[in-house]
Chains A and B, each alone.
Chain A
């Protein structure tokens, strides 16, 4: 790679992000995009717990970033990536950083974690120096090269990046200890000069991986940087290394410096400033002494932090006058598409929805059933019937109606293993299918001939009644059309062997419903049909459907059009499917518990009747 030694980041820099930090990853890509980079700055993500891909935005489009489990695998796949942004926690920052340093192709590691032990920091730093590599951090947000590359979250929001013109390079190289002051420094420098070329925060720990001087010496060598600014802290000797270099003539570019912590002499000794390294152990380490030494060595030092911007400005203007810096035409500020969630929150955009839900809402603190809090549903003991009322009909039904629903569910819950739905579920379970597949197998059997006649019965009887057909007329009409009356007839039950379930339903309805008008009509029909044949009784499906119409018509909670809708949309078969699921699940689990083997229908129970050879021949006519 042709990158100069003093350049850590440029427009072609490629990096790995260690740790699945989706926000930081998106921020890096957004920065790349507004800097008009040709390709994203992230080669791959390293996520020790999962390999695969990560989808992220590139402007308005989406792109895929590969994700590897180990640093070495990623480094092998992307030898052009020479930066690792390390988001590992303080527990694993050391080992992951050492691992990255051991990769030939990785040259710079930014360590974000706070609380890395001092010995580990010193070993990382010494190892990096030995290998001629650079560590930024620990305990920092990182750094950035304007218009080229940003480490993770450096420079904050996209609005801030645009406000501080970080999408294009200026002429100032900046370095500080504090990561928290980096944005502020970018702001000050952009308001008082043509802006930042590169800015790095080395972190406030006692033993940072690279020192402020390391970066200042890089800035000194970089011809694109015309002036240097630094922000030091009380405590430590780092500033004296810079002062030494100034005195030795190793720094020739104008240097604006300020050391914070001038207030420390008036504070009690035990006050700890925000950073671990910020503690003056000797007079030499105080902010005053350092500022004085900077001034004496020829740096541009304001009288307080308040004048930092003014000092930057005066140095910048001096460079302009000398012609060392040229004014350039300001490029148009780029735009980045607003994040959807943010734009929605601010009320800046709206979007038509494609999907509407009116029965439940999980977007708040507590789920709502038809607008009613789940905790209220429970505290009011609404029961399954009440919940069905809310979620199917969006109504708080009277108690007798909820109880009727529960009665229906209990009655239809099971009817033994031989009925076709249970049989199918059992066969599937015996074939080794899981619970849900076996349940589906049973449920898929529900239809016109098995359990699915509730809606049809409700519809036909309701229609006949509304048309004012006498029971005889209704029976005759259906016969003429060649249709069996839905809800009438049972395989084994008959007048002599009545269906107990139907009796239970009728008794409940008579005792609780204000009116059972349609039931009375249906019983007149039954009288006619059973006169023809004993098993043409009102069956359980029919009884449920008809009683539900009576319930809705008489309880006062439904309008006529609502009742029509219930019938038209086929709500009522849901009662059978819901109730019978209880029994089907019981049968499926029963077979599993018993360790049943694959079911094969006995051959002697099948009549094998093959077509003759002639029958299957395609007859050709010539």
Chain B
């Protein structure tokens, strides 16, 4: 097989140190609180003498601090660290970490910061969740991270952890674990820096156990930067992790009822939330992201692959700024679902008027099995309902689709066009999939 060379695999360090907080269908970031909770609970299964106490508390907007103290009495007796726990990094750099504090000061900090707006990496968002844990005075900072690629997992270790790991990337020890062979036969100890001295065996055992933990609990990324030794035991200070949400069926229990948070700064509009909710209740796929509510170009495209290509073509023709939304519907949604999906889009696009009018692209590839007539029935129901508003907003509609019962579906659209008082141009598989985009936009720019 053709693999990227071993060296190239490790060069792409940008991949590893990137904040890893993107929303991803399969790989989803989890809170540091949950990652450490899982570590405290399950790492001892692979490492007998792992004695991290897992003193952790999560504070959300509705947390009652008095209740929190009564179930976590250590909050009053330990020195504390308080930091936001919302899938973004570089918290220290942004001055958002409270160190070596007592409970009273922590409460004051929480009061001041809960709900406040901050800008991190160019993204504005509100602080809503904080992790509280014991403060660990330390000098040594180690780095360990595990990521995955096609043919295995990669472990990275460095004795120069913390904020300086990037500057010292050449000091990082990379280990590759083959997906089939596993970690058994890998000589880790001799690869670790001699400067570790007596700790070499401890670190080796920790790395082996951490990989088992990573592999068996459905992780796709895990980074502890830094960890340190406190009274001779390993303590994780900062942790970032992602899980493969496809493993939920097997891991439900071991994931300790955690919830996947939305990425920082991403709050769904009412309409986006409505579609997301609709999506979660059906076997079909319904997605909607609003890009520019005042844009002139709206799309309603069937299929994940085709929706990207329509968006591409709109941008290629120089209308990126006018592109109002991105989304898709697929997986044979029923008439009712397409009705609600269409209605949501029509409602959004008829809120603002534009002197040049607007276009709606109802596009799609040749479907494998989605019944075009059935889905278009829902679309036409919504169009009829919004007849008046569509006329007022000066909307032109362009349709292109193929697949099961497409002739009937297209006929529905043509018939509607005759009585709707809104121009509808209808094309089938004989027209190239994206040809309606130039047809529509050249019209729109007149």
Knowing A181-B306, A303-B316, the reply to whether A156 touches B403 (Cβ < 8 A) is: yes
Give the CA-CA distance A102 to B169 in the complex, in Å. Answer: 42
Q: Are A116 and B365 in contact (CB under 8 A)?
A: no
Which residues of A lie under 8 Å from residue B314 when comparing CB positions?
A: 263
Q: Shortest Cβ distance from B311 into chain A, in angstroms? A: 4
Q: Mark A189-206, 1 if CB is under 8 A from B, else 0.
A: 000000000000000111
- Binary interface encoding of chain A residues 384-421 relative to chain B, with 1 for a CB under 8 A from any of its CBs, else 0: 00000000000000000000000000000000000000
Give Cα A266 to B178, complex, Å.
38
CB pair A126–B326 under 8 Å, yes or no, is: no
Q: Which residue of A lies closest to B291 (CB)?
A: A267
Q: Are B326 and A304 in contact, CB atoms less than 8 angstroms apart?
A: no
In the assembled complex, how far is the CB of residue B114 from the closest CB belonging to chain A, in whole angstroms?
Answer: 23
- Interface residue? A90 (CB, 8 A): yes
> Is the beta-carbon distance between B304 and A178 smaller than 8 angstroms?
yes
> Does B429 sit within 8 A of A, measured CB to CB?
yes
B-contact bits for A218-243, CB 8 A (1 contact / 0 none): 00000000000000010001000100
CB distance from A25 to the nearest CB of B (A): 15
Interface-located stretch among B21-29, B60-68, B132-140, B185-193: B21-29
* Given the contacts A272-B23, A276-B26, A282-B12, A306 and B308 also touching, CB distance less than 8 Å: no
Which of B15, B285, B309, B404 is the one whose CB lies under 8 Å from A156? Answer: B404
Shortest Cβ distance from B18 into A: residue: A281
A494 at the interface (CB under 8 A from B): no
Residues of A within 8 A of B367 (CB): 156, 180, 183
Known: A117-B244, A305-B309, A306-B437. A180 touches B403 (CB 8 A): no
Which has the most chain B C-beta neighbours within 10 Å: A127, A155, A188?
A: A188
Which residues in B have their C-beta under 8 angstroms from that of A213? 2
Alpha-carbon separation in the docked complex, A230 to B152 (Å): 27
The residue on A at minimum CB distance from B305 is: A178
Interface centre among B18, B123, B313, B435 (most CB of A within 10 A): B313
A233's nearest neighbour on chain B, judged by CB, is B308
Q: Is A511 in contact with chain B by the CB < 8 A criterion?
A: no
Query: Is the CB–CB distance between A273 and B151 below 8 Å?
Result: no
CA–CA, A157 and B405, complex, Å: 9
Q: Of all chain B residues, which has the CB nearest A188?
A: B432
> Which residues of chain B have C-beta atoms less than 8 A from A309's C-beta?
432
Please give, as numbers and ranges, the residues of chain A lying within 8 Å of B123 by CB-CB distance: 269
Q: Is the CB of B303 within 8 A of A181?
A: yes
Query: A179 is contacted by which of B218, B285, B312, B368 (Cβ under 8 Å)?
Result: B368
Instruction: Report B-chain residues with C-beta under 8 Å of the C-beta of A271.
Output: 289, 326
Pairwise interchain contact B429-A187, C-beta atoms closer than 8 A = yes
User: Complex: how many Å from CA A502 to CA B309?
Assistant: 85
Task: Kindly list chain B residues whose C-beta atoms are within 8 Å of the C-beta of A268.
Answer: 289, 291
In this assembly, does A52 line the interface, its C-beta being within 8 Å of a C-beta of chain B?
Answer: no
User: B151 contacts A180, CB within 8 Å?
Assistant: no
Q: Which A residues lie within 8 Å of B435 (CB)? A: 306
In the complex, the answer to whether A269 meets B22 with C-beta atoms within 8 Å is yes
Most buried by B among A157, A163, A287: A157
Shortest beta-carbon distance from A152 to chain B in Å: 10
Residues of B near A237 (CB, < 8 A) are: 4
Question: Is residue A105 contacting chain B, with contact meaning CB distance below 8 A?
Answer: no
A301 located at the interface, meaning its Cβ lies under 8 Å from any Cβ of chain B in the complex: no
Give Cα A205 to B330, complex, Å.
17
* Residue from B18, B320, B366 within 8 A of A183 (CB atoms): B366
> Contacts of B323 on A, CB cut-off 8 Å?
263, 266
Partner of A270 from B179, B266, B432 at Cβ < 8 Å = B266
B256 at the interface (CB under 8 A from A): no
Tell yes or no: A119 within 8 A of B by CB. yes
Question: What 1/0 mask marks residues of chain A from 577 to 611 whose CB sits below 8 Å from any chain B CB?
Answer: 00000000000000000000000000000000000
Question: Which of A118, A141, A179, A305 is the most central at the interface, judged by chain B CB atoms within 10 Å of its CB?
Answer: A305
**Cβ of A115 under 8 Å from chain B:** yes
Which A residues lie within 8 Å of B152 (CB)? 122
Instruction: Name which residue of chain A comes closest to B315, CB basis.
Output: A263
Of A187, A207, A275, A276, which one neighbours B366 at CB under 8 angstroms? A187
Over the window 366-408 of chain B, the binary record of Cβ atoms lying under 8 Å from chain A Cβ atoms (1 yes, 0 no) is 1111000000000000000000000000000000001110000
Decide: A180 near B368, CB < 8 A? Known: A272-B25, A273-B304: yes
B306 touches A122 (CB 8 A): no
In the bound complex, CA of A275 to CA of B18 (Å)? 21
Say whether B150 contacts A122, CB under 8 Å: yes
B25 pairs with A141, CB closer than 8 A: no
Q: Is the CB of A156 within 8 A of B366?
A: yes
Whether B1 pairs with A129 at a CB distance below 8 angstroms is yes
Is B247's CB within 8 Å of the partner chain A?
yes
Judge if B162 is at the interface, Cβ distance under 8 Å.
no
Q: How far is the CA of A179 from the CA of B323 in the complex (A)?
A: 26
A276 near B438 with CB under 8 A, answer no
Q: How far is the CA of A269 from the CA of B266 in the complex (A)?
A: 10
**B244 touching A204, Cβ below 8 Å:** no
Q: Which residue of A lies closest to B434 (CB)?
A: A306
A204 to B328 CA separation, bound complex (whole angstroms): 15
B208 at the interface (CB under 8 A from A): no
B307 within 8 Å of A (CB atoms): yes
A539 within 8 Å of B (CB atoms): no
Known: A213-B2, A304-B313, A306-B437. A274 touches B330 (CB 8 A): yes
Which residues between 355 and 382 of chain A lie within 8 Å of chain B, taking CB atoms?
none
* Residue of A180, A241, A271 ringed by the most chain B CB atoms within 10 A: A180
Question: Is A476 at the interface (CB under 8 A from chain B)?
Answer: no
For residue B15, give the distance in angstroms from its CB to the closest CB of chain A.
Answer: 6
Q: Which of B1, B178, B438 has the most CB of A within 10 A?
A: B1
B residues within 8 A CB of A91?
249
Q: Answer yes or no: A244 CB below 8 A from chain B CBs.
A: yes
Binary interface profile of A, 242-276, with partner B (CB < 8 Å = 1, else 0)?
A: 00110000000000000011110011111111111
Which residues of the partner chain B approach A262 to less than 8 Å between Cβ atoms? 312, 315-316
Please, how many angstroms separate the alpha-carbon atoms of A350 and B230 in the complex? 84
CB-CB nearest in chain A for B151: A126
A70 interface residue, CB < 8 Å from B?
no
Does A168 touch B at the CB level, under 8 Å? no
Bound-state Cα–Cα, A116 to B250, Å: 11
Cα A505 to Cα B185 in complex, Å, equals 96
Chain A CB within 10 Å — which of B287, B289, B308, B437 has the most? B308
CA distance A619 to B276 in the complex (A): 97
- Contact yes or no, B291 A123, CB < 8 A: no
Contact of A125 among B15, B18, B150, B433 (CB under 8 A): B150
B246 and A117: CB pair below 8 A?
Answer: yes
Q: Of residues 29 to 88 in A, which have CB atoms within 8 Å of B's CB atoms?
A: none
Given A156-B367, A306-B437, are A273 and B23 also a contact pair (CB < 8 Å)?
Answer: no
Inter-chain contact B312/A118, CB cutoff 8 Å: no
A261 to chain B, nearest CB (A): 5
A180 touches B305 (CB 8 A): yes
The answer to whether residues A260 and B312 also contact, given A118-B26, A205-B26 and a CB cut-off of 8 A, is yes
Closest to A242 in B: B2
Residue of B nearest to A261 (CB): B308
Report the nearest B residue to A138, measured CB to CB: B246
Cβ-based interface call for B7 (8 A): no
User: A122-B150, A266-B315, A270-B22 are contacts. A275–B304 as well, Cβ < 8 Å?
Assistant: yes
Q: Are A122 and B365 in contact (CB under 8 A)?
A: no
The reply to whether B365 and A180 form a contact with Cβ atoms under 8 Å apart is yes
CB-contacts of A113-138 with B (<8 A): 115-119, 122-123, 125-127, 129-130
A298 to B182, CA, bound (A): 39
Selected A-B contacts with CB under 8 Å, 25 pairs: A115-B246, A117-B218, A117-B250, A119-B148, A126-B178, A163-B429, A177-B305, A181-B303, A183-B367, A206-B27, A263-B320, A266-B321, A268-B289, A268-B291, A269-B22, A272-B25, A276-B24, A276-B25, A276-B27, A278-B308, A279-B24, A282-B14, A303-B316, A305-B312, A306-B437
Top-5 shortest CB links A-B? A274-B304, A178-B305, A184-B365, A181-B305, A183-B366
Given contacts A122-B148, A178-B304, A269-B22, 11 further A-B contacts (CB under 8 A): A118-B26, A122-B150, A153-B368, A156-B369, A260-B312, A261-B308, A263-B311, A268-B289, A274-B305, A274-B328, A279-B24
